[in-house]
Protein backbone atom coordinates (compact mmCIF):
# COMPACT_ATOMS: atom_id res chain seq x y z
CA UNK A 1 0.00 0.00 0.00
CA UNK A 2 1.59 3.28 -1.07
CA UNK A 3 1.29 6.47 0.93
CA UNK A 4 -1.14 7.91 -1.66
CA UNK A 5 -3.36 4.85 -1.35
CA UNK A 6 -3.19 5.09 2.44
CA UNK A 7 -4.37 8.71 2.47
CA UNK A 8 -7.07 7.94 -0.12
CA UNK A 9 -8.36 5.07 2.02
CA UNK A 10 -8.27 7.17 5.16
CA UNK A 11 -10.11 10.00 3.39
CA UNK A 12 -12.87 7.64 2.28
CA UNK A 13 -13.25 6.00 5.69
CA UNK A 14 -16.02 8.29 7.09
CA UNK A 15 -18.28 7.68 4.09
CA UNK A 16 -18.99 4.05 4.92
CA UNK A 17 -18.33 4.32 8.65
CA UNK A 18 -21.03 6.95 9.29
CA UNK A 19 -23.63 4.41 10.50
CA UNK A 20 -21.09 2.84 12.82
CA UNK A 21 -20.04 6.24 14.18
CA UNK A 22 -23.69 7.01 14.90
CA UNK A 23 -23.99 3.69 16.74
CA UNK A 24 -20.89 4.54 18.77
CA UNK A 25 -22.30 7.96 19.68
CA UNK A 26 -25.59 6.35 20.73
CA UNK A 27 -23.85 3.80 22.95
CA UNK A 28 -21.77 6.52 24.59
CA UNK A 29 -24.89 8.58 25.17
CA UNK A 30 -26.64 5.62 26.75
CA UNK A 31 -23.68 4.92 28.98
CA UNK A 32 -23.68 8.54 30.11
CA UNK A 33 -27.41 8.42 30.81
CA UNK A 34 -27.19 5.08 32.62
CA UNK A 35 -25.13 6.29 35.55
CA UNK A 36 -22.69 8.98 36.51
CA UNK A 37 -19.22 7.87 37.52
CA UNK A 38 -18.79 7.67 41.28
CA UNK A 39 -16.44 10.05 43.09
CA UNK A 40 -15.70 11.64 46.46
CA UNK A 41 -16.01 15.35 47.25
CA UNK A 42 -14.36 16.15 50.59
CA UNK A 43 -14.40 19.58 52.30
CA UNK A 44 -12.70 19.66 55.71
CA UNK A 45 -12.48 23.25 56.96
CA UNK A 46 -11.83 22.15 60.55
CA UNK A 47 -9.03 19.76 59.51
CA UNK A 48 -10.72 17.12 61.67
CA UNK A 49 -10.67 14.17 59.24
CA UNK A 50 -8.11 11.57 58.16
CA UNK A 51 -8.53 11.79 54.39
CA UNK A 52 -7.12 8.31 53.70
CA UNK A 53 -9.62 6.66 56.06
CA UNK A 54 -12.53 8.66 54.61
CA UNK A 55 -11.53 7.67 51.07
CA UNK A 56 -11.35 4.01 52.10
CA UNK A 57 -14.77 4.20 53.79
CA UNK A 58 -16.33 5.90 50.74
CA UNK A 59 -14.79 3.45 48.23
CA UNK A 60 -17.64 0.87 48.37
CA UNK A 61 -20.24 3.59 47.76
CA UNK A 62 -18.19 5.03 44.91
CA UNK A 63 -17.94 1.56 43.39
CA UNK A 64 -21.75 1.51 43.30
CA UNK A 65 -21.68 4.73 41.28
CA UNK A 66 -22.45 7.08 44.18
CA UNK A 67 -21.23 10.67 44.30
CA UNK A 68 -20.21 10.99 47.95
CA UNK A 69 -19.94 14.49 49.44
CA UNK A 70 -18.49 14.95 52.95
CA UNK A 71 -18.44 18.49 54.38
CA UNK A 72 -17.09 19.51 57.79
CA UNK A 73 -17.64 23.27 58.26
CA UNK A 74 -16.25 25.46 61.04
CA UNK A 75 -19.41 27.57 61.11
CA UNK A 76 -22.80 26.94 59.57
CA UNK A 77 -26.39 27.16 60.72
CA UNK A 78 -29.10 25.03 62.31
CA UNK A 79 -31.44 24.89 59.29
CA UNK A 80 -29.09 23.35 56.67
CA UNK A 81 -28.92 26.48 54.49
CA UNK A 82 -25.12 26.40 54.52
CA UNK A 83 -25.24 22.76 53.40
CA UNK A 84 -27.52 23.71 50.50
CA UNK A 85 -25.15 26.47 49.39
CA UNK A 86 -22.18 24.12 49.45
CA UNK A 87 -24.03 21.46 47.44
CA UNK A 88 -25.05 24.09 44.91
CA UNK A 89 -21.43 25.20 44.61
CA UNK A 90 -20.42 21.64 43.70
CA UNK A 91 -23.38 21.30 41.29
CA UNK A 92 -24.86 18.41 43.25
CA UNK A 93 -28.31 19.98 43.45
CA UNK A 94 -31.02 20.03 40.80
CA UNK A 95 -33.23 22.79 42.08
CA UNK A 96 -33.46 22.03 45.81
CA UNK A 97 -33.01 18.25 45.36
CA UNK A 98 -29.72 16.39 45.47
CA UNK A 99 -28.78 14.51 42.29
CA UNK A 100 -30.05 10.94 42.02
CA UNK A 101 -26.58 9.41 42.55
CA UNK A 102 -25.64 11.72 45.45
CA UNK A 103 -24.99 10.78 49.09
CA UNK A 104 -24.04 13.77 51.24
CA UNK A 105 -22.90 14.12 54.88
CA UNK A 106 -22.64 17.52 56.56
CA UNK A 107 -21.22 18.47 59.96
CA UNK A 108 -21.10 22.03 61.37
CA UNK A 109 -18.99 22.75 64.46
CA UNK A 110 -20.64 26.09 65.28
CA UNK A 111 -23.50 25.61 65.77
CA UNK A 112 -23.41 21.85 66.27
CA UNK A 113 -25.48 20.54 63.38
CA UNK A 114 -25.34 17.37 61.24
CA UNK A 115 -27.32 16.27 58.21
CA UNK A 116 -27.49 13.32 55.81
CA UNK A 117 -29.02 13.38 52.32
CA UNK A 118 -29.49 10.56 49.80
CA UNK A 119 -30.51 10.96 46.15
CA UNK A 120 -33.41 9.26 44.46
CA UNK A 121 -31.33 6.28 43.40
CA UNK A 122 -30.69 5.36 47.05
CA UNK A 123 -33.83 6.68 48.75
CA UNK A 124 -35.61 3.31 48.69
CA UNK A 125 -32.78 1.72 50.71
CA UNK A 126 -32.11 4.91 52.70
CA UNK A 127 -35.44 6.56 53.57
CA UNK A 128 -35.52 9.56 55.90
CA UNK A 129 -36.20 7.48 59.02
CA UNK A 130 -33.19 5.25 58.24
CA UNK A 131 -30.99 8.33 57.79
CA UNK A 132 -32.27 9.68 61.12
CA UNK A 133 -31.34 6.42 62.86
CA UNK A 134 -27.86 6.41 61.33
CA UNK A 135 -27.29 10.07 62.21
CA UNK A 136 -28.47 9.74 65.82
CA UNK A 137 -27.00 6.30 66.61
CA UNK A 138 -23.74 6.30 64.63
CA UNK A 139 -22.64 9.79 63.58
CA UNK A 140 -23.71 12.06 66.49
CA UNK A 141 -22.20 9.97 69.37
CA UNK A 142 -18.81 9.96 67.64
CA UNK A 143 -19.02 13.70 66.97
CA UNK A 144 -19.81 14.44 70.64
CA UNK A 145 -16.79 12.32 71.64
CA UNK A 146 -14.56 14.28 69.25
CA UNK A 147 -13.93 11.26 66.99
CA UNK A 148 -14.87 12.94 63.70
CA UNK A 149 -13.02 10.52 61.44
CA UNK A 150 -14.45 7.47 63.21
CA UNK A 151 -17.96 8.88 63.06
CA UNK A 152 -17.87 9.81 59.36
CA UNK A 153 -16.18 6.52 58.34
CA UNK A 154 -18.66 4.45 60.36
CA UNK A 155 -21.60 6.39 58.91
CA UNK A 156 -20.46 5.78 55.32
CA UNK A 157 -19.96 2.07 56.09
CA UNK A 158 -23.46 1.77 57.57
CA UNK A 159 -24.99 3.57 54.58
CA UNK A 160 -23.26 1.13 52.22
CA UNK A 161 -24.46 -1.83 54.29
CA UNK A 162 -28.04 -0.61 54.19
CA UNK A 163 -27.87 -0.07 50.43
CA UNK A 164 -26.47 -3.59 49.93
CA UNK A 165 -29.12 -5.11 52.19
CA UNK A 166 -31.96 -3.11 50.69
CA UNK A 167 -31.16 -3.72 47.04
CA UNK A 168 -34.25 -4.84 45.17
CA UNK A 169 -34.26 -7.08 42.08
CA UNK A 170 -34.99 -3.97 40.02
CA UNK A 171 -31.88 -2.29 41.42
CA UNK A 172 -29.77 -5.36 40.63
CA UNK A 173 -31.20 -5.34 37.11
CA UNK A 174 -30.33 -1.66 36.72
CA UNK A 175 -26.75 -2.32 37.83
CA UNK A 176 -26.45 -5.23 35.40
CA UNK A 177 -27.74 -3.05 32.56
CA UNK A 178 -25.28 -0.27 33.40
CA UNK A 179 -22.32 -2.68 33.39
CA UNK A 180 -23.56 -4.20 30.14
CA UNK A 181 -23.63 -0.75 28.57
CA UNK A 182 -20.11 -0.05 29.86
CA UNK A 183 -18.83 -3.30 28.33
CA UNK A 184 -20.59 -2.61 25.02
CA UNK A 185 -19.15 0.91 24.98
CA UNK A 186 -15.63 -0.44 25.50
CA UNK A 187 -16.08 -3.09 22.79
CA UNK A 188 -17.48 -0.61 20.26
CA UNK A 189 -14.75 1.94 20.95
CA UNK A 190 -12.07 -0.74 20.60
CA UNK A 191 -13.60 -1.95 17.33
CA UNK A 192 -13.66 1.52 15.78
CA UNK A 193 -10.17 2.26 17.02
CA UNK A 194 -8.95 -0.85 15.20
CA UNK A 195 -10.93 0.04 12.04
CA UNK A 196 -9.64 3.61 11.98
CA UNK A 197 -6.04 2.53 12.56
CA UNK A 198 -6.13 -0.39 10.08
CA UNK A 199 -5.08 1.70 7.01
CA UNK A 200 -2.18 3.14 8.96
CA UNK A 201 -1.12 -0.28 10.25
CA UNK A 202 -1.37 -1.80 6.75
CA UNK A 203 0.70 1.04 5.32
CA UNK A 204 3.36 0.70 8.01
CA UNK A 205 3.45 -3.05 7.46
CA UNK A 206 3.91 -2.56 3.71
CA UNK A 207 6.68 0.01 4.26
CA UNK A 208 8.43 -2.38 6.66
CA UNK A 209 8.22 -5.37 4.31
CA UNK A 210 9.64 -3.28 1.44
CA UNK A 211 12.59 -2.07 3.51
CA UNK A 212 15.88 -4.03 3.59
CA UNK A 213 15.48 -4.98 7.29
CA UNK A 214 11.91 -6.12 6.59
CA UNK A 215 12.94 -8.27 3.63
CA UNK A 216 15.77 -9.74 5.69
CA UNK A 217 13.44 -10.59 8.56
CA UNK A 218 10.99 -12.27 6.15
CA UNK A 219 13.83 -14.27 4.58
CA UNK A 220 15.12 -15.36 7.98
CA UNK A 221 11.62 -16.39 9.04
CA UNK A 222 11.18 -18.45 5.90
CA UNK A 223 14.33 -20.42 6.72
CA UNK A 224 12.69 -21.90 9.82
CA UNK A 225 10.39 -24.93 9.54
CA UNK A 226 7.26 -22.95 10.58
CA UNK A 227 8.23 -20.16 8.20
CA UNK A 228 8.69 -22.60 5.29
CA UNK A 229 5.31 -24.18 5.97
CA UNK A 230 3.63 -20.81 6.15
CA UNK A 231 5.30 -19.61 2.94
CA UNK A 232 4.23 -22.80 1.16
CA UNK A 233 0.66 -22.33 2.36
CA UNK A 234 0.64 -18.73 1.11
CA UNK A 235 2.00 -19.76 -2.29
CA UNK A 236 -0.57 -22.56 -2.58
CA UNK A 237 -3.41 -20.21 -1.70
CA UNK A 238 -2.13 -17.55 -4.11
CA UNK A 239 -1.78 -20.07 -6.93
CA UNK A 240 -5.33 -21.35 -6.35
CA UNK A 241 -6.63 -17.80 -6.43
CA UNK A 242 -4.80 -16.93 -9.63
CA UNK A 243 -5.96 -20.13 -11.34
CA UNK A 244 -9.52 -19.27 -10.40
CA UNK A 245 -9.15 -15.66 -11.57
CA UNK A 246 -7.62 -16.64 -14.91
CA UNK A 247 -10.34 -19.24 -15.53
CA UNK A 248 -12.96 -16.59 -14.81
CA UNK A 249 -11.40 -14.29 -17.40
CA UNK A 250 -11.16 -17.15 -19.87
CA UNK A 251 -14.85 -18.01 -19.42
CA UNK A 252 -15.79 -14.36 -19.87
CA UNK A 253 -13.75 -14.17 -23.09
CA UNK A 254 -15.46 -17.30 -24.47
CA UNK A 255 -18.86 -15.82 -23.67
CA UNK A 256 -17.98 -12.56 -25.39
CA UNK A 257 -16.72 -14.35 -28.51
CA UNK A 258 -20.07 -16.09 -28.93
CA UNK A 259 -21.89 -12.74 -29.00
CA UNK A 260 -19.47 -10.56 -30.97
CA UNK A 261 -20.64 -8.32 -33.79
CA UNK A 262 -17.47 -8.60 -35.87
CA UNK A 263 -16.15 -9.98 -39.14
CA UNK A 264 -14.98 -13.56 -39.42
CA UNK A 265 -11.32 -12.46 -39.66
CA UNK A 266 -11.57 -10.42 -36.46
CA UNK A 267 -13.38 -13.23 -34.68
CA UNK A 268 -10.74 -15.72 -35.86
CA UNK A 269 -7.87 -13.50 -34.68
CA UNK A 270 -9.45 -13.14 -31.25
CA UNK A 271 -10.04 -16.89 -31.09
CA UNK A 272 -6.35 -17.58 -31.85
CA UNK A 273 -5.25 -15.23 -29.06
CA UNK A 274 -7.71 -16.79 -26.62
CA UNK A 275 -6.62 -20.35 -27.50
CA UNK A 276 -2.99 -19.42 -26.90
CA UNK A 277 -3.79 -17.96 -23.49
CA UNK A 278 -5.92 -20.98 -22.56
CA UNK A 279 -3.09 -23.30 -23.59
CA UNK A 280 -0.71 -21.45 -21.24
CA UNK A 281 -3.31 -21.61 -18.47
CA UNK A 282 -3.71 -25.40 -18.82
CA UNK A 283 0.07 -25.86 -18.79
CA UNK A 284 0.44 -23.82 -15.62
CA UNK A 285 -2.47 -25.64 -13.98
CA UNK A 286 -0.65 -28.98 -14.39
CA UNK A 287 2.16 -27.90 -12.05
CA UNK A 288 2.18 -29.77 -8.76
CA UNK A 289 4.69 -27.55 -6.91
CA UNK A 290 3.85 -23.93 -6.32
CA UNK A 291 6.98 -21.80 -6.31
CA UNK A 292 7.49 -18.06 -6.74
CA UNK A 293 8.12 -18.43 -10.49
CA UNK A 294 4.75 -20.14 -11.01
CA UNK A 295 3.00 -17.38 -9.07
CA UNK A 296 4.65 -14.75 -11.31
CA UNK A 297 3.62 -16.62 -14.46
CA UNK A 298 -0.01 -16.88 -13.30
CA UNK A 299 -0.10 -13.19 -12.41
CA UNK A 300 1.30 -12.31 -15.85
CA UNK A 301 -1.26 -14.58 -17.52
CA UNK A 302 -4.03 -12.84 -15.62
CA UNK A 303 -2.75 -9.51 -16.93
CA UNK A 304 -2.51 -10.87 -20.51
CA UNK A 305 -6.22 -11.73 -20.55
CA UNK A 306 -7.03 -8.05 -19.95
CA UNK A 307 -6.28 -6.64 -23.45
CA UNK A 308 -8.19 -9.53 -25.05
CA UNK A 309 -11.28 -8.77 -22.96
CA UNK A 310 -10.97 -5.08 -23.80
CA UNK A 311 -10.83 -5.94 -27.51
CA UNK A 312 -13.93 -8.11 -27.19
CA UNK A 313 -15.79 -5.31 -25.45
CA UNK A 314 -15.39 -3.10 -28.51
CA UNK A 315 -17.35 -5.55 -30.67
CA UNK A 316 -20.11 -6.32 -28.19
CA UNK A 317 -23.64 -5.31 -29.26
CA UNK A 318 -25.00 -2.22 -27.48
CA UNK A 319 -27.69 -2.82 -24.84
CA UNK A 320 -30.61 -0.51 -24.26
CA UNK A 321 -31.28 0.23 -20.64
CA UNK A 322 -34.83 1.21 -19.79
CA UNK A 323 -35.67 2.82 -16.47
CA UNK A 324 -38.79 2.09 -14.39
CA UNK A 325 -41.84 3.84 -15.77
CA UNK A 326 -45.58 3.90 -15.27
CA UNK A 327 -47.09 1.82 -12.53
CA UNK A 328 -43.76 0.13 -11.76
CA UNK A 329 -42.11 3.46 -10.89
CA UNK A 330 -45.16 4.44 -8.89
CA UNK A 331 -45.01 1.20 -6.91
CA UNK A 332 -41.30 1.75 -6.23
CA UNK A 333 -41.90 5.29 -4.96
CA UNK A 334 -44.79 4.05 -2.84
CA UNK A 335 -42.58 1.32 -1.44
CA UNK A 336 -39.87 3.84 -0.60
CA UNK A 337 -42.40 6.14 1.04
CA UNK A 338 -43.84 3.34 3.14
CA UNK A 339 -40.32 2.28 4.10
CA UNK A 340 -39.53 5.83 5.21
CA UNK A 341 -42.72 5.98 7.25
CA UNK A 342 -41.98 2.67 8.94
CA UNK A 343 -38.42 3.79 9.65
CA UNK A 344 -39.68 7.05 11.17
CA UNK A 345 -42.21 5.27 13.34
CA UNK A 346 -39.56 2.77 14.40
CA UNK A 347 -37.16 5.57 15.34
CA UNK A 348 -39.81 7.44 17.32
CA UNK A 349 -40.86 4.29 19.18
CA UNK A 350 -37.21 3.54 19.95
CA UNK A 351 -36.67 7.02 21.35
CA UNK A 352 -39.85 6.70 23.41
CA UNK A 353 -38.58 3.43 24.86
CA UNK A 354 -35.23 4.96 25.75
CA UNK A 355 -36.78 7.99 27.43
CA UNK A 356 -39.20 5.77 29.34
CA UNK A 357 -36.39 3.49 30.50
CA UNK A 358 -34.22 6.26 31.88
CA UNK A 359 -37.11 8.17 33.38
CA UNK A 360 -38.19 5.09 35.32
CA UNK A 361 -34.63 4.59 36.56
CA UNK A 362 -34.53 8.01 38.27
CA UNK A 363 -38.11 8.35 39.48
CA UNK A 364 -37.30 8.21 43.22
CA UNK A 365 -37.22 11.34 45.37
CA UNK A 366 -34.44 12.27 47.77
CA UNK A 367 -34.42 11.45 51.47
CA UNK A 368 -32.77 13.55 54.19
CA UNK A 369 -32.49 14.13 57.92
CA UNK A 370 -30.76 16.87 59.90
CA UNK A 371 -30.54 18.23 63.42
CA UNK A 372 -28.20 19.14 66.29
CA UNK A 373 -25.53 16.74 67.45
pLDDT digits (tens, 9 = 90+) for 68-127: 999 999 988 888 899 999 999 988 998 889 999 999 999 999 999 999 999 988 888 889
Looking at the fold, whether 82 and 197 belong to one and the same domain comes out as no
Looking at the fold, whether 142 and 74 belong to one and the same domain comes out as yes
Considering the domain boundaries, does residue 45 fall inside one? yes
Considering the domain boundaries, does residue 352 fall inside one? no
Q: How confident is the model at residue 319 (pLDDT cuts 50, 70, 90)?
A: low
Q: How far is CA 315 from CA 111, 194, 258, 273, 285, in A?
A: 102, 47, 11, 16, 30
Question: Which residues does 367 contact at the CB level (< 8 Å), separation at least 6?
Answer: 117, 118, 122, 123, 126, 127, 128, 130, 131
The yes-or-no verdict on residue 212 having pLDDT over 60 is: yes
Q: What is the pLDDT of residues 223-271, one digit of tens each?
A: 888 888 888 888 889 989 999 999 999 998 888 888 877 678 888 888 8
Give the C-alpha separation, 25 to 6, whole Å.
26
**Can you say whether the dihedral through the CA atoms of 6, 12, 18, 20 is positive or negative?**
negative
Position 267 scores a pLDDT of 83
Considering the domain boundaries, does residue 58 fall inside one? yes
Position 290 scores a pLDDT of 84
Domain boundary among 287, 314, 341: 314
Looking at the fold, whether 68 and 134 belong to one and the same domain comes out as yes
Considering the domain boundaries, does residue 16 fall inside one? yes
Considering the domain boundaries, does residue 366 fall inside one? no
- The total domain count for the chain is 3
Looking at the fold, whether 13 and 49 belong to one and the same domain comes out as no
Considering the domain boundaries, does residue 160 fall inside one? yes
Q: Which residue has the higher pLDDT, 211 or 345?
A: 211
CATH value at residue 85: 3.10.310.50
Domain carrying residue 149:
35-167
What is the model's pTM?
0.44
- Average pLDDT on 273-290 reads 90
Position 342 scores a pLDDT of 39
Considering the domain boundaries, does residue 241 fall inside one? yes
Amino acid sequence: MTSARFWRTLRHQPAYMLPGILVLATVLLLSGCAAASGRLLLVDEAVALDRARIEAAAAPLIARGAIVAVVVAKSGDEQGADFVRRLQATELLRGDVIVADGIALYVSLDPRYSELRAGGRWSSALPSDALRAVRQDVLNPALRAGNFTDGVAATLAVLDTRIAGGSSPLAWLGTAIRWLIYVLSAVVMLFFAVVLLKPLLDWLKDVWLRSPPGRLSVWLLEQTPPGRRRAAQRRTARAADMLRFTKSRSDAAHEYLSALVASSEQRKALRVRLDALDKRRHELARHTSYDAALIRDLEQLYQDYGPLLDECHKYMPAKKVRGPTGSHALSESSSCASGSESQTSSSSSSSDWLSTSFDSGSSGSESSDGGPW
